Amino acid sequence: MGLALVHGRARAGVRAPAVKVEVHLGGGLPSMSIVGLPEAAVREAKDRVRAAIQCAQFEFPARRITVNLAPADLPKGGGRFDLPIALGILAASGQLPQDALGDCEFIGELGLTGELRPVDGVLPAALAAAQAGRRLVVAEGNGAEAALAAGLEAFTARTLLEVCALLTGRKPLPAAVAPPHQAEDGPDLRDVRGQAQARRALEIAAAGGHHLLLVGPPGCGKTLLASRLPGLLPEADEADALETAAIASVSGRGLDPARWRIRPFRAPHHTASAVALAGGGSEPRPGEISLAHNGVLFLDELPEWDRRALEVLREPLESGVVTISRAARQSEFPARFQLVAAMNPCPCGWAGDSSGRCRCHGEAIARYRARISGPLLDRIDLHVEVPRLPPAELRPDAPDGEPSAAVRARVTAAHARQHARGGRLNARLSQAQTMADCRLASRDQALLERAVEALQLSARAMHRILRVARTIADLDDSDAITTAHLTEALGYRQADQGAGQQAA
């Protein structure tokens, strides 16, 4: 009787739990069975593996073959177990040395000719293999992704025969190499003309990690402003960038290894469903809010979104994670993103414009705004009106705005102050940290309380005002929150309140 053990990795959300592929050759009629909660793609591996082994000029044993994928209660899907199953059969039948399998992990789908094909979710597996202290062998198409894991000895192969040559010591495999990092070359803030208040709000949002709502008529530059936010953020550190890249790796939409450090900017269409935003499926995949992790999620035409879709944002905006529960499994995905939303002030889009072209009556405007729930608006820190620009500011010879690089320098300095003080951005401060780091003078505290009472704001909104004021003080390199900082932070709530009164 032959028995072999090969190490592989499953995919469970953004994790890659270890799987032991145990292959046993016993007596009886020739057959092959795969156990251990395999899904359809894994059960079909027996036909792919048989053809690949025969095409590689090895002997497929005419015995009773049992393949166990342990642990048995972990669902296994995809073609990622083809390579370890094939190697286990060859080792159990004595055609490969079993000693060479102990310190390696193998991931890859086999073609009928023995070609090794790439699979998704390799980066989480590579990070887990590095932590376990094992080497990793993947398909050539997954090499650049696997090389992103620091401290991992990863190799690439084109065929099953090449992997067997490595294990028998006949020929080494080439090491996986990460591609050169591509620098961010996104849109620049200098392209935005005028809109001083909106530009200022964008800088504050970038400096403190705050959520932002832009309200203005069509064509005033809301989308233009939102697309500039990622360029104002400092480059993500390695841990955050790898976490974001791991989400992209398991999403099934592909990961560009050359751009893994660039913060994501997701702008789904307003017809997207709640599942598209939060993620889901029988085998849970991340949605748009997770794909925007450590980056920006832009929702244009906010009142046109399905209300049920918008409501799924409420908990991730607070917790930074989204949990997808299904009958067979539960997956948790990170979702710490910055929300930038844009909307028109009324159905026609021209309420409050100096041209007076709006003919929407108050009830229609109120219904339009009521499509967005109050609890969701309450979680957005900055509410900014973006007016229509006069034609003179759009002339080709009009001066450019401040470039993104200059604003990014101030944002980076503000981030450094926040991390030195509390270890996190101001928008993520807990209630206790907010009370400790956002203290006001007695006169300013009285001003805040009067404003909260006049604007009928919630306790959550009051805490968010304090955090925004703290961010404004950090941009001014000030240790204390002054009256000017507080009044500016209050102004970003008054703009929304004024629009709501106008709609009524």
pLDDT value at 500 more than 60: no
Indicate whether 134 and 219 sit together in one domain. Answer: no
Question: By mean pLDDT, which of 63-77, 96-110, 280-294, 437-451 is the weakest?
Answer: 280-294
pLDDT at 357: 87
AA letter at 47 = D
Indicate whether 28 and 148 sit together in one domain. Answer: yes
Question: By mean pLDDT, which of 118-127, 327-336, 422-431 is the weakest?
Answer: 327-336
Indicate whether 248 and 112 sit together in one domain. Answer: no
Indicate whether 397 belongs to any domain: yes
pLDDT value at 304 more than 50: yes
Indicate whether 402 belongs to any domain: yes
Nearest-angstrom CA–CA distance, 489 and 213: 14
CA–CA distances in Å: residue 156 to residues 159, 165, 192, 384, 436: 9, 13, 46, 51, 52
Give the residue from 167, 202, 234 where a domain finishes: 167
Indicate whether 375 belongs to any domain: yes
Average pLDDT of the residues of the chain? 91
Residues 458-468 have a mean pLDDT of 94
Indicate whether 403 belongs to any domain: yes
Indicate whether 469 belongs to any domain: yes
pLDDT value at 501 more than 60: no
Nearest-angstrom CA–CA distance, 461 and 494: 12
Neighbours of 241 (CB within 10 A): 18
Coil, strand, or helix at residue 232?
helix
Indicate whether 54 and 133 sit together in one domain. Answer: yes
pLDDT at 494: 65
Indicate whether 256 and 124 sit together in one domain. Answer: no
pLDDT at 391: 80
pLDDT at 328: 66
Give the residue from 136, 167, 198 where a domain finishes: 167
pLDDT at 503: 37
Per-residue pLDDT reduced to its tens digit, 108-119: 999 999 999 999
Neighbours of 497 (CB within 10 A): 16
pLDDT value at 91 more than 80: yes
**Does the predicted TM-score (pTM) go above 0.85?**
yes
Indicate whether 244 belongs to any domain: yes
Helix (H) or strand (E) segment spanning residue 97: none
Helix (H) or strand (E) segment spanning residue 243: helix 238-250
pLDDT at 331: 86
Indicate whether 106 and 249 sit together in one domain. Answer: no
Nearest-angstrom CA–CA distance, 96 and 32: 19
Return the higher-pLDDT residue of 60 and 185.
Answer: 60
Percent of the residues in the chain that have a pLDDT greater than 70, as a whole number: 97
Range of the domain at 58: 2-167
For the residues of 365-431, what is the DSSP string, one character each?
HHHHHTTS-HHHHHT-SEEEE-PPPPGGGGSTTSPP---HHHHHHHHHHHHHHHHHHHSS-GGG--H
Residues 22-32 have a mean pLDDT of 93
Band of the pLDDT at 433, cuts 50, 70, 90? very high
pLDDT value at 314 more than 60: yes
pLDDT value at 82 more than 70: yes
Per-residue pLDDT reduced to its tens digit, 408-422: 999 999 999 999 998
What's 191's DSSP letter?
Answer: G
Residues 396-412 have a mean pLDDT of 88
Q: What is the domain-level CATH number for residue 91? A: 3.30.230.10
Per-residue pLDDT reduced to its tens digit, 193-240: 888 899 999 999 999 999 999 999 998 889 999 999 999 999 889 999
Band of the pLDDT at 317, cuts 50, 70, 90? very high
Record the tokens describing residue 504, joined without a space.
């009524």
Q: Tell me the sheet residues that pair with 299.
A: 341
* Number of structural domains the chain divides into: 2
Per-residue pLDDT reduced to its tens digit, 471-499: 999 999 999 999 999 999 999 986 545 44
pLDDT at 1: 53
Give the residue from 98, 132, 167 where a domain finishes: 167
pLDDT at 183: 72
Q: Which among 65, 72, 113, 111 has a CA at the least distance from the CA of 91?
A: 65
Indicate whether 178 belongs to any domain: no
> b/e per residue, 351-362, with b = 16+ CB within 10 A?
bbbeeeebebee
pLDDT at 401: 80
Three-state SS string over 342-379 comes to EECCCCCCCCCCCCCCCCCCHHHHHHHHCCCCHHHHHC
Per-residue pLDDT reduced to its tens digit, 30-59: 999 999 999 999 999 999 999 999 999 999
